[in-house]
Amino acid sequence: MSIRTIPTDKSKAADATITDEEWAKAESAHERFKALLETKPRAKARYDAVLAEINARQATLRRLREARALTQSTVADLLDMDQSEVSRFEHRSDMLMSTLRRFVQATGGEMHVIVQYPDGGPVELLVGDE
């Protein structure tokens, strides 16, 4: 797995560092956004609708498997592991990306990692694709 990181070269790393001034700007932008939500009902309604859509699209690994009408035993066979291992995997909060990708593929899916920064749109993180 490879993840693009900030360069370790000190001159390049200095350029990638967030200054106190930039943090202050981000904090004030966040405060302005919160104030907007408190004073503008339409903005608050839109924000709530976006959050509801995001929450509706979230699922646990167990729910993903169940939505595909697969049993733990079936997924275990596809992954060449025991059913109990699939059960433990579904309850884990920390796992290898490669194992997660295998689980998703075994249930018929394709995995994409999306990174969202507060000051920009979503970015797909290329993991293992260099």
Residues 48 and 90 in one domain: no
Q: Are residues 89 and 128 in the same domain?
A: yes
**What is the tens place of the pLDDT at every residue in 113-123?**
999 888 888 88
As for how many domains the chain has, the answer is 2
Residue 20: exposed, middle, or buried by beta-carbon count in 10 A (0-12, 13-18, 19+)? exposed
Does residue 89 belong to any structural domain of this protein? Answer: yes
Last residue of a domain, one of 14, 41, 58: 58
pLDDT tens per residue across all 130 residues of the chain: 434 333 444 444 445 566 788 777 777 777 888 888 888 899 889 888 887 877 787 888 998 888 888 899 999 999 999 999 999 999 998 989 989 999 999 999 999 999 988 888 888 888 775 5
- Structural domain harbouring 35: 27-58
Distance (Å, whole) CA 35 – CA 8: 38
pTM over 0.85: no
